[in-house]
Structure 1
Amino acid sequence: MDWGRAKNVLIYSFLLLNLILGYQLWMDVKEQASSNLDFTSLAENTQKAMDQKGIQVLAQIPRDTPELQKITYRYLNGDTEREPVKLAEPVDSKLIFSSKELINALKNSIPQIDNHRYDPLLSQDGVFVLHPLVEGEWPLFNVALELYYSNQKITGYRQSLIEVTPSGEKQKVLSASKALGTLIENFLPERSVVKDIQLGYYGQVFNSESQVAAPAWRFILENGEIYYVQGISGDVISPKTEK
């Protein structure tokens, strides 16, 4: 066997393989960047305002505009400021990154956990945050299930059980691009960085047994500030001011 020739063939084969893999990686990165940073859905005035104010949008702009309706929800276990409940047997906190495993591990200990979604952007050291889902899909941002963890183990939780009732007729929600345009042109300060955009439910909280929430786009900035744009009326709400 001509070992020199065989060696050259192997070298050329590896070079060709690296070229193919490199091209595929470049295409994947290009496709991801295109999907995440596509501003063509934004109005021209909005794009100009972005440039003038130095605003960056690092999150993908959703294109879906489903038909949703307002909801009324009430708490089933009284006061929303409940004391944490300690788990009889701690659960591995790594399971938070696998929804199915997490639900299987905690479904016998935490009511309705199978109808919640993990919110990594609101979670912090020692606490994982999940929100209940309306119609099994849309997070209700007003309500949180908190999982407490220590030494890589979930040790307890705090939960407010709710009952949700649909209210009014379904309407097509405002597009994320229009909601974002309103924020960029009128509300966001200069050099803001938008890092997350998500559709769910949100409403101002009143001293009442029942609360009302409407479809809303949630925008989280890099500095931690949160803005909500009501999906039907287009009103803008900042939790810090509730205006």
Structure 2
Amino acid sequence: MDWGRAKNVLIYAFLLLNLVLGYQLWNDLREQADSNLDITALENNTQQAMDEKNIRVLAKIPTETPELPKIAYRFVDDTQTGKLTDLSVPVDSRLIFTPRDLTAALKDNLPDIGDYRYDEVASSADVFVLHPLVDGKWPLFKIELKLFNSNQKIISYQRRAIEISYPEEEKPQRVLSASKALGNLIENFLPEGSVVTEVELGYYGEVFDSDAHLPAAPAWRFMLESGKEYYVQGISGDVISPNTEKTKE
């Protein structure tokens, strides 16, 4: 037996094993860091509840707490509202990720497309979902503009046009922090094993047919890996789970 060659083979084998183990350790540490992203912003009892219920937070927890008013909106009496409308010229679906180019491409069909924002978590391969923006910044959740995609081209759209107003009696109020809203969810509402993948501030209003102005309040949206969503009203702190159509306090 060539002991010199055997010794070299063993050395290379140990080096390879160390590389594999080192990569596995680095990957485990990275996943652990990701799964605990921003949890230092949460109170101790919330972190304890996370451990007990095996809940992970993979989303960045926003620190902003702006002062926002409640708003009102109504559905505009438009002959095209709610109907599927074909685009005069199909648009490359890749433009959905470049808002400025998308606005330029769709402005003839949808002149106010710049007042909407793409919602990646609510979209699918065939349907892109956008929400109207309040003050050009905050998405009005549950109100949707849908762009239908086929063969990598946006070919049609569907929406219910709305008009937003600001009741004089509604004064801006400081919204609840995302960390407190999430803490309430973790401790009292989220099921075991939940994985929070997205946290965003916007507006939430009831969606039903009416000619009257409908109220909408600031709300934090929390998306889970399972696809379930929760909303926490930014002023009252009420928890809304549209999947069950039940409001909880």
Q: What runs of 5+ residues in structure 1 fail to find an aligned partner?
A: 1-25
Match of residue 242 from structure 1: 245
Q: Which amino acid aligns with 2:84?
A: P
Alpha-carbon separation, structure 1, partners of 2:112 and 2:209:
25
Q: Which residue of 2 aligns with 1:196?
A: 198
Superposition deviation, residue 206 in structure 1? 4.3
184 and 74 in structure 1: CA distance in 2 versus 1, 3 angstrom threshold = same
CA-CA distance at 1:39 after TM superposition: 1.3
Residue 103 of structure 1 aligns with which residue?
Answer: 103
Across the aligned residues of Structure 1 and Structure 2, the Cα RMSD in angstroms comes to 2.0
Aligned pair count reads 213
Deviates more, 1:71-80 or 1:156-165: 71-80
Aligned positions of 1:204-223 closer than 5 A: 204-209=206-211, 210-223=213-226
Q: Is the 8 A contact 2:54 2:193 kept in 1?
A: yes
Which stretches of structure 1, 4 residues or longer, exceed 6 Å deviation after superposition? none
In the superposition, relative to structure 1, how do residues 80 and 190 fare at CA in structure 2: closer, same or farther (>3 Å)?
Answer: farther
Aligned to 1:171: 173
Shift, 1:125, TM fit: 2.6
Q: Which residue of 1 aligns with 2:112?
A: 112
Residues 143, 207 of structure 2: 8 Å contact kept: no
In the alignment, which residue of structure 2 is the partner of 1:87?
A: 87
Following superposition, the deviation at residue 80 of structure 1 comes to: 9.6
Separation in structure 2 between the aligned mates of residue 182 and residue 78 of structure 1, nearest angstrom: 41
Which residue of the partner structure matches residue 133 of structure 2?
Answer: 133
- TM-score using structure 2 length: 0.81
Q: CA deviation at 1:148?
A: 0.6
Q: 2:58 aligned with 1:58, yes or no?
A: yes
- Structure 2 residue corresponding to 1:232, chosen from 226, 230, 235: 235
Q: Shift in Å at residue 207 of structure 1? A: 4.5
Please say if residues 81 and 161 of structure 2, whose CA atoms lie closer than 8 Å, have aligned partners that are also in contact. Answer: no
How do 1:37-48 residues align onto structure 2 when only pairs under 5 Å count? Answer: 37-48=37-48
Q: CA deviation at 1:81?
A: 6.9
Q: How does 1:5-44 map to 2 (within 5 A)?
A: 37-44=37-44
% identical equivalent positions: 58
DSSP 3-state at the match of 1:109:
coil
- How far did 1:208 drift? 2.8
**Structure 1 length normalisation: TM-score?**
0.83
Contact 2:75/2:210, CA 8 A, preserved across alignment: no
Q: Is the 8 A contact 1:204 1:242 kept in 2?
A: no
Pair 79,199 (structure 1): closer, same or farther in 2 beyond 3 Å: farther
SS of 2:141 mapped into structure 1 = coil
Q: Which amino acid aligns with 2:236?
A: S
Tell me the distance in 1 between the aligned counterparts of 2:165 and 2:51.
Answer: 43
* Structure 1 SS opposite 2:149: strand
Cα shift at 1:78: 5.1
How far the C-alpha of 1:166 sits from its partner, in A, is 1.4
Corresponding residue number in structure 2 for 1:152:
152
**1:130, 1:220 → 2: CA distance?**
16
118-127 or 176-185, which deviates more? 118-127
Counterpart of 1:179 in 2: which secondary structure? helix
CA, structure 1 residues 49+80, in 2 after alignment: closer, same or farther (shift >3 Å)?
A: farther
Query: Take 2:218 and 2:94, find their aligned partners in 1: how far apart are those partners?
Result: 31
Distance 2:120 2:217 in 1: 22
